[in-house]
A and B are shown apart, each in its own frame.
Chain A
């Protein structure tokens, strides 16, 4: 990856918090415009009764300050039914504060959160939350966890028992249903934690790093289940540091930085705007390294310009790691850095 700045399109500075209202028009730049597509929820018919759009989650102008720390600085996010939004960003970007605010655990200083057109606090049954840290009762079994949280969500008796069995199968927990959470492996605990969020089939799933430290089996079980729930119409906000998971989930990415979303698009769309790298090594020991949006063209031009004997050619397209590093830099430097940079 070169040292050039990322060329991702940045979201505009947040506007002051405003009262809920119909969303603005979709912002989708034309192909080839050089801008990263910014996906917003399509406008929906106004209703005037608080149920204005088909979006499951609408967050506008969310701010939260802890003393000197601005945890959320105008967070905006819209998620529609069936959509998986991968919320990425470095630690401290505001992801967990956002999840806490949407789930009603903290009260934002300003801004609006609507879940299915309604404020989340009296309608928590619409939300399923899997927090970042394991939050289970060590002496309580997996089955008892699922039954407790299913029961609190309004499921009863046979329906609840049936959902527990079904979910345990989806999450590959059937063999551990009667084992206390304290005796489960880390991966099994992760799956149980997710099960607690999923048991009542919420319309909005907030999964905060659900696969952190998980083994491949756990990761796969969780991804399969999340994908299935999205296919059934749930809106999913999935925070993670593993971009490959978001690619597998075909999620759109929302990049959080300093408490707000600074870019949105699919991984492919965001990658398309990143420069690749061409490295040429010559017989005399010299090396040319160029970052470029057009690696192949740049390679051809360099070869044409240089008559020396080339001993090594390396053309590298940007990958997810490059994307993540770019996302980390986003907001710290000019958005449109030099298209090509040469170092010798």
Chain B
């Protein structure tokens, strides 16, 4: 077998295996797809009444909020490998660290994309959200934000000592990041002090990125897109370092 084919086949095997693991435990995915849909349907009248861009806020707010909650899907998919001691088992196979990391993270990334796509699609069909004429920018925005979430979740999983830690961090992070980022209330309506610190939240940049994409404004996407990518790369590098070394703390679990 060629030196290129074998790694591709192994990565494919690992992706399939990890998708299988996710699909056999689908409760989190179902929950994080269903909850934002319910929330945006309930909140839409309020947002439409209060804002000119009410429908956009009603859809993108819950979508960003629950995409941050979905950090725990990524985190759990890594955490269980620690709990089951299976990560070391994979590390002693022929698969290299890049293959292992791709096999682990690609399915989680697909799930994040799936969640955001479904929420936007329902927002469009059921709530009348106007989609841009070309969906390329929107797909790009979803992919960038998905990448950021993936890296944040992976990094979180490598430092959390237990599922409890991970759950608390994901919950607090989701509320903090999304609230501060303007997912619940637009930043322009938040108190002055909150408006000042809002840009420290990745959610702020995600809202900006996705709303710019929905408006079909590619230029406005550049800055938030770069910030999201930078956050993703920084946390992704940290997670890769930890995962490649076996993260050292697995013995604690």
Contact = CB atoms under 8 A, between A and B. Distances in A.
Interface in B214-253: 246
Given A124-B93, A152-B94, A153-B93, A105 B88 contact: yes
B103 to A, nearest CB: 10
Interface in A266-288: none
A90 interface: no
B86 A136 contact: yes
Q: How large is the interface on B (under 10, 10 to 19, 20 to 34, 35 or more residues)?
A: 20 to 34
A152 B92 CA distance: 10
Contacts of A136: 84, 86
Interface in A98-137: 103-106, 124-125, 127, 129, 131, 133-137
Contacts of B94: 124-125, 152-154
Contact of A152 (B20, B21, B93): B93
B92 A104 contact: yes
B13 to A, nearest CB: 5
A196 B89 CA distance: 9
Given A124-B92, A125-B94, A131-B85, A151 B10 contact: yes
Nearest to B12: A151
Nearest to B17: A148
A135 B88 contact: yes
B119 to A, nearest CB: 27
Contact of B92 (A103, A133, A138, A140): A103
Contact of B89 (A104, A106, A131, A153): A131
B30 interface: no
A3 interface: no
A271 B244 CA distance: 45
Nearest to B23: A139
Interface in A52-89: none
Contact of B13 (A125, A140, A152): A152
B125 interface: no
Nearest to A122: B96
Interface in B88-107: 88-95
Interface residues of A, number: 25
B13 A151 contact: yes
B1 interface: yes
Contacts of A129: 89, 92
A149 interface: yes
Contact of B86 (A124, A137, A144, A151): A137
Contacts, number: 61
Interface in B25-72: 25
Contacts of B95: 152
A154 B13 CA distance: 11
A32 to B, nearest CB: 44
Contacts of B13: 148, 151-152
A137 B84 contact: yes
Contacts of B1: 154
Given A139-B24, A144-B20, A148-B17, A134 B85 contact: yes
Contact of A138 (B6, B9, B84, B246): B84
B92 A135 contact: no
Contacts of B90: 152
Interface in A144-164: 144, 148-149, 151-154
Q: Which of B1, B25, B88, B94 has the most CB of A within 10 A?
A: B94
Contacts of B25: 139
A288 to B, nearest CB: 50
A140 B1 CA distance: 27
B6 A154 contact: yes
Contacts of A103: 92
Contact of A135 (B17, B20, B89, B93): B89
Nearest to A127: B92
Contacts of A127: 92
Contacts of A196: 89
A125 B95 CA distance: 9
Contacts of A106: 246
Contacts of B14: 152
B250 to A, nearest CB: 10
Contact of B21 (A134, A139, A154): A139
Contact of B93 (A139, A140, A144, A149): A149
A196 B90 CA distance: 11
Contacts of B10: 151-152
A44 to B, nearest CB: 27
A196 B84 CA distance: 15
Contacts of B21: 137, 139-140
Contact of A105 (B9, B17, B20, B246): B246
Interface in B3-18: 6, 9-10, 13-14, 17
24 contacts: A104-B91, A104-B92, A106-B246, A124-B93, A125-B93, A131-B89, A135-B84, A135-B88, A136-B84, A136-B86, A137-B84, A139-B20, A139-B25, A140-B17, A140-B20, A144-B17, A151-B9, A151-B10, A152-B10, A152-B14, A152-B93, A152-B95, A154-B1, A154-B94
Given A139-B24, A149-B93, A151-B9, 11 more contacts: A103-B92, A105-B246, A129-B92, A131-B89, A144-B20, A148-B17, A152-B10, A152-B95, A153-B93, A154-B1, A154-B6
Interface of B: 1, 6, 9-10, 13-14, 17, 20-21, 24-25, 84-86, 88-95, 246
